[in-house]
């Protein structure tokens, strides 16, 4: 039994949470409070639910007149200005407009509606929208476009916050770009709902049902407040990561092996991709294209352009994820990424980059190069060279500003072995430090230049920023072309931590399970209800895994591995049964 999702949802303290797990009857039980709903007009129950590892079922709505009436939810309406959120799983193939939940209140002119493919947005719109308003003071409408009418389960969270005139929309754990159609006053005051809130349709008057939905719903919750990326991400993780309950030996009890069968389990989104997006990168080039000359930016607007025949469709660094990589020939191949908007001028709080590389050549080469048009500000990440000299196997980074100074450092990594390696770099101008990681672990860094002012003011980059080349156009041409393969390249603002980098690297190893791997916040935890131990698995479709513990004590091994990852100066396990030495 996997109750991880339900616990994560309940931790958000919703005003109502309907799991739709009933096999029959007309009552949709609210597992949080007393707002039980009523299945109306034959909502079809007992269908396979959205959550991996959870036997709880889902409900089907016929698009004619089915809905669930959950009442007015007390004083929910009058508290909407400080944030109202709703979370649900949906599976549908319908592409026409439909209401997932809502209430139009003619009495108080108060309304709240969550829609999919709404024609009120614009003709042919595909995606999710939310409308919240009060007749005398206007409304707030925002929407996120996407192709989610694909007969697959999707997790959706919508969070309108009138006080800052924003609506936050997440689909499958990833925050979407929300577009505003109309804005009300941030100081709007709402009243409580006079009519009931419906799930599966919306109510225009006490007897008029509008836009009933066609499809499946599961795990519907409504609450007050403002949610974070982390909270929504945790919900999605618990909903999509398969878990297996099994009897874990007591401390001190040996076991030889445990067979874990994961047949038929599948994740909706690769774990590596998910971990990258949690960092809110400015740009993330997955390089999955198999034709054409464009490398799409999967999170922003900074698509890269191939120059001089970049090879696409190479085997990806992520062996368990369907995808591809690019290969540059070291002669004249590279990619242009343009100015990246205002990215350059916002570097004071930190700038990070990470990606996978596979190289054999020991000559100096550039992975990433950003510069302004006048060459007064540059950022470069290079291999086999430092700022001053050729250094085989080194990974280096240099941030230079002609007004405020230079910060440069390198790490000796022995990286030219024709094997995929994950590298990450953090440049923190405020502390004038550079950090480097390889394959999930921080490495020793040697500082070459430390003249950058902590109060430096940076400018935006220009049109010659590139991947795979030192681009001095038009002052001197192209230098140090990259010779090898690149995959999953991301760049962003802010700082990153050892744990975040380690999680990203470990997420690329979906079939490799160890007791200390931080697959989620709690990779192994005890189910409070069944007292079973639950092991979270990780990756794409897996037929089976045999975990051989080699006679280790599992519970104690987990503790020891976790402590060892902290690199303690001393660690006394106190396991001795005799003697005077610990």
Picking from 501, 500, 489, 171, the residue whose alpha carbon sits closest to that of residue 340 is 489
**pLDDT higher than threshold 70 for residue 246:** no
The H-or-E segment that residue 564 falls in is helix 554-564
pLDDT higher than threshold 50 for residue 455: yes
The helix (run of H) or strand (run of E) holding residue 563 is: helix 554-564
What pLDDT does residue 236 have?
87
Q: Which residue has the higher pLDDT, 299 or 490?
A: 490
Average pLDDT over the chain, rounded to an integer: 78
Topology of 4-240 in CATH? Answer: Jelly Rolls (2.60.120)
Q: Are 138 and 131 in contact (CB under 8 A)?
A: no
pLDDT at 384 over 60: yes
Query: pLDDT (tens digit, 9 = 90+) per residue, 3-17?
Result: 568 878 888 888 889
CB atoms < 10 A from the CB of 25, how many?
Answer: 10
Identify whether the C-beta of residue 67 lies closer than 8 Å to the C-beta of residue 43.
Answer: yes
**What are the two backbone dihedrals, phi and then psi, of residue 382, each rounded to the nearest 5 degrees?**
-135, 160
Q: pLDDT tens for residues 404-429? A: 999 999 999 989 999 999 999 999 99
Contact 101, 199 (CB under 8 A): yes
Q: Which of 369, 387, 377, 391 is nearest to 482 (CA)?
A: 369
Comparison of pLDDT for 1 and 71, the residue scoring more? 71
Q: What are the pLDDT digits (tens) for 329-356? A: 999 999 999 888 888 888 999 999 999 9
Rounded to whole angstroms, the Cα distance separating 315 from 485 reads 9
pLDDT at 186 over 60: no
Asked if domains 4-240 and 274-496 share a fold, the reply is yes
Q: Quick one: pLDDT band at residue 380, thresholds 50, 70, 90?
A: very high
Q: Using 50, 70 and 90 to split pLDDT, how confident is the model at 55?
A: confident
Is the CB of residue 232 less than 8 Å from the CB of residue 93? Answer: no
Which residues contact residue 260 at a Cβ distance below 8 angstroms, ignoring those fewer than 6 apart? 244, 246, 535, 537, 544, 545, 546, 547
d(CA 124, CA 486): 38
Q: Percent of the chain at pLDDT above 90?
A: 40
CB 193 within 8 A of CB 103: yes
Q: Which tens digit of pLDDT belongs to each residue from 14-51? A: 888 999 999 999 999 998 877 899 999 999 999 999 98
- Between 110-124, 163-177, 285-299, the lowest mean confidence (pLDDT) is in 110-124
Task: Say if residue 570's pLDDT is above 70.
Answer: yes
Alpha-helical (H) ranges within 24-107 are none
Q: Where are the domains of the chain?
A: 4-240, 242-261+528-582, 274-496
Residue 320's pLDDT band (boundaries 50, 70, 90)?
low
pLDDT at 250: 34
What lies within 8 Å, CB to CB, of 198 at 6+ separation is 67, 68, 69, 70, 99, 101, 102, 103, 209
Using alpha carbons only, give the angle 395, 396, 402 rounded to the nearest 5 degrees: 165
pLDDT value, residue 230 = 81
Cα radius of gyration rounded to whole Å, the chain:
27
Confidence of residue 245 (pLDDT cuts 50, 70, 90): very low
Measured CA to CA, the distance from residue 384 to residue 334 in angstroms comes to: 18
Domain 274-496 fold is Jelly Rolls (2.60.120)
Length of the chain, in residues: 582
Q: What is the pLDDT of residues 500-541, one digit of tens each?
A: 888 788 777 644 333 323 333 333 333 344 434 344 333 333
Question: Residue 402 — very low, low, confident or very high, per pLDDT cuts 50/70/90?
Answer: very high
Asked if the model's pLDDT at residue 394 lies above 70, the reply is yes
Q: Is 36 left (phi over 0), alpha (psi -120 to 50) or beta?
A: beta
């Amino acid at each position: 039994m996997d109750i991880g999702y339900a616990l994560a949802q309940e931790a958000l303290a919703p005003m109502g949470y309907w799991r739709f797990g009933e096999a029959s009857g007309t009552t949709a039980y609210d597992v949080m409070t007393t707002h039980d709903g009523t299945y109306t007009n034959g909502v079809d129950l007992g269908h396979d639910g959205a959550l991996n590892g959870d036997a709880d079922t889902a409900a089907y709505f016929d698009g004619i007149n089915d809905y669930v009436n959950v009442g007015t939810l007390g004083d929910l309406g009058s508290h909407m200005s400080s944030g109202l959120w709703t979370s649900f799983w949906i599976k549908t193939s319908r592409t026409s407009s439909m209401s997932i939940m809502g209430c139009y209140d003619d009495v108080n002119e108060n309304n709240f509606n969550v829609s999919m493919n709404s024609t009120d947005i614009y003709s042919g719109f595909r995606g999710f929208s939310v409308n919240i308003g009060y007749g005398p003071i206007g409304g707030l409408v925002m929407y996120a476009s996407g192709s989610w009418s694909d007969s697959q389960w999707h997790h959706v969270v919508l969070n309108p916050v009138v006080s800052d005139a924003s609506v936050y929309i997440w689909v499958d754990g990833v925050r979407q770009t929300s577009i505003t159609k109309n804005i009300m006053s941030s100081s709007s005051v709402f009243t409580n709902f006079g009519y009931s809130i419906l799930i599966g349709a919306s109510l225009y008057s006490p007897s008029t049902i509008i836009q009933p939905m066609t499809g499946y719903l599961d795990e519907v919750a409504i609450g007050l407040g403002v949610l974070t990326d982390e909270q929504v991400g945790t919900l999605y993780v618990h909903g999509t990561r398969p878990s297996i309950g099994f009897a874990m030996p007591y401390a001190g009890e040996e076991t030889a092996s445990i067979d874990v069968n994961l047949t038929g389990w599948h994740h909706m989104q690769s774990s590596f991709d998910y971990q990258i997006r949690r960092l809110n990168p400015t740009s993330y080039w997955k390089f999955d294209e198999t034709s054409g000359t464009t490398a799409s930016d999967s999170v922003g607007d900074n698509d890269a352009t191939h120059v001089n025949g970049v090879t696409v469709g190479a085997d990806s660094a992520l062996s368990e994820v369907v995808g591809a990589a690019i290969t540059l020939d070291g002669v004249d191949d590279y990619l242009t990424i343009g100015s990246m908007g205002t990215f350059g001028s916002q570097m004071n709080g930190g700038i990070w980059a990470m990606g996978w590389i596979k190289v054999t050549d020991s000559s100096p080469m550039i992975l990433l190069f950003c510069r302004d048009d006048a060459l007064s500000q540059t950022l470069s990440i290079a291999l086999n060279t430092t700022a001053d000299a050729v250094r085989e196997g080194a990974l280096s980074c240099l941030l230079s500003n002609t007004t405020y100074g230079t910060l440069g450092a390198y790490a000796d990594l022995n990286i030219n072995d024709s094997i995929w390696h994950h590298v990450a770099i953090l440049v923190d101008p405020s502390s004038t430090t550079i950090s480097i990681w390889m394959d999930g672990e921080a490495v020793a860094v040697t500082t070459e230049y430390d003249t950058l002012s902590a109060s430096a003011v940076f400018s935006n980059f220009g049109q010659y920023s590139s991947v795979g080349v030192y681009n001095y156009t038009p002052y001197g041409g192209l230098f140090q072309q990259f010779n090898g393969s690149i995959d999953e390249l991301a760049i962003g603002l802010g700082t990153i931590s050892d744990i975040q980098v380690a999680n990203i690297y470990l997420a690329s190893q979906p079939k490799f399970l160890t007791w200390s791997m931080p697959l989620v916040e709690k990779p192994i935890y005890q189910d409070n209800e069944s007292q079973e131990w639950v092991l979270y698995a990780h990756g794409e479709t897996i037929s089976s895994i045999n975990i051989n513990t080699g006679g280790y004590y599992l519970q104690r091994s987990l503790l020891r591995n976790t402590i060892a990852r902290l690199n303690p100066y001393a660690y006394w396990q106190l396991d001795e049964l005799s003697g005077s030495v610990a």
